[in-house]
Amino acid sequence: MKKNKTQTPHLSQDNLNNEMMSFIANSPTPFHAVLNLQEILKVYQFSELKESEKWDLKQNGRYFVTKNDSSLAAFVVGNRPAQKSSFKIIGAHTDSPNLKVKPKPDKIFKNFHQLGVEVYGGVLLSTWFDRDLSLAGRVHFENKKGALQSALVDFKSAVAIIPSLAIHLNRTVNENQSINPQKELPPILLQIQDKNNDFRNILASKLSKDGYPVSKILDFELSFYDKNPPAFVGLHDDFIASARLDNLLSCFVAIKGLIASLDNKTAATKVMICQDHEEVGSCSHIGAEGPFLPSILERICFDRESFHQSIKNSIMISSDNAHGVHPNYAEKYDENHGPILNAGPVIKINANQRYATNSETASLFAKLCEDLKVPYQRFVVRADMGCGSTIGPLTSANVGLKVVDVGVPTFAMHSIRELCGGKDSVFLAEVFKSFYSREDL
């Protein structure tokens, strides 16, 4: 721990957190998150580029590009000629662990209509029981003219639930609970009146109601989510409880930092990248192991030679949440490296390169915090435990960038309802703004 723990952030805490909570509530899937990020960028005159078209970039120009509707990069071109450019990058991920509807999901038992699900990423399964679940994602369909079309869909209301088994029927549940996802997780959608009404029909009528000219549903990527919106929690509203804090918090704070830095025109090109598929290993055409970021950086430079020179002078902050010390499980943390909620962003370090931080990049982040008088902390996992990872090491290895892995401390990572401190998001936004604004680091 550094500095004074009761220090308050300079940016308006209530505004940032309220906006963040509404962003997360309106972003049940990476598709919705990317759409909402675009809306924010358009307000600040960022214009959209297509990967398939020639880019004609202007100095200080503001641009964004999306991939698969679920990854997004935004950038502000620097003052310097592109061949002498460097990049200041903040990266995060748009996806969160969840239950995804299977392609042929219908399961009927005793007139209950349930949907088969796949587990996406490292879901904390027990937290998904007895929640008011809604359903959202992307649907592809044939329209009335016979052409392919896609749409985002969000049922918004609580259309399903996974009820627990009563304790009377499982007396030992509190001693040893294990959950079989294939058997125990299919949410109950409804009690059947019409046996011919399968899930694809239900989806088609939902899309028609939303105004889409659906002739036939062809495929979909749909996820269940908790309808309960984010909330301040604690006697003095110290905490924020919400789904998807990992890692929509970082996406939102990164875009806030970028926008807050727009008045400071810098030599370096500012880049914000939010990518899908981190929770399943990042190995996809839209994930951090794919070509999305390096191809963008290369296109901002004139040629391959200036790209290589620029990468050498560039740095990335990889932002993803960290594990705060849980008072009931203090033995799970190293006694000197357990971050506290509301005590500032965390620099994440791992000797085995599960985090890409090194002493050079850690000190740059520390310097940014010190100069702002923002408190910061360091996390190292216990030496007898394995360590999670982020997009940091993958991007670093893939692109050749120097990276520091950071994030706000949280509880209950990968629960359907995670917890963070209300101050840390604002501290992190201040650091991001400064990172994008300063010329000397």
Binding site for Co ion (CB under 5 A): 246-247, 320
Can you give the three-state secondary structure of 143-197, one letter per residue? ECCCCEEEEEEECCCCCEECCCCCHHHCCCCCCCCCCCHHHHCCCEEEECCCCCC
Q: How far is the CB of 321 from Co ion (least distance, A)?
A: 6
Q: How far is the CB of 107 from Co ion (least distance, A)?
A: 31
Contacts of 410 (CB under 8 A, 6+ apart): 245, 246, 321, 322, 323, 324, 341, 418, 419, 420
Q: Which is nearer to Co ion, 97 or 422 (CB)?
A: 97
In the complex with Co ion, the residue whose CB is nearer, 37 or 214, is 37
CB of 89 to Co ion, least distance (A): 17
Closest CB to Co ion among residues 320, 405:
320
CB of 144 to Co ion, least distance (A): 41
Closer residue to Co ion (CB): 98 or 269: 98
Identity of the residue, 226 or 418, whose beta carbon is nearer to Co ion in the bound complex: 418
Q: How far is the CB of 393 from Co ion (least distance, A)?
A: 13
Which lies closer to Co ion via its Cβ, residue 82 or residue 413? 413
Shortest distance in whole angstroms from residue 226 CB to Co ion: 17
DSSP for 393-436 reads HHHHHHH--EEEEEE-EEESTTSSSEEEETTHHHHHHHHHHHHH
As measured in angstroms, the least distance from the Cβ of 246 to Co ion is: 4
Three-class secondary structure of residue 256 per DSSP: helix
How many Cβ atoms sit within 10 Å of the Cβ of residue 118? 15
Q: Which is nearer to Co ion, 247 or 395 (CB)?
A: 247
Look at strands 402-407 and 315-319 and give their pairing: parallel
Q: Name which of 234, 175, 240, 351 is nearest 13 in CA terms.
A: 240
Residue of 378, 249, 375 whose CA lies nearest to 320 = 249
Omega before residue 17 within 30° of 0, cis:
no
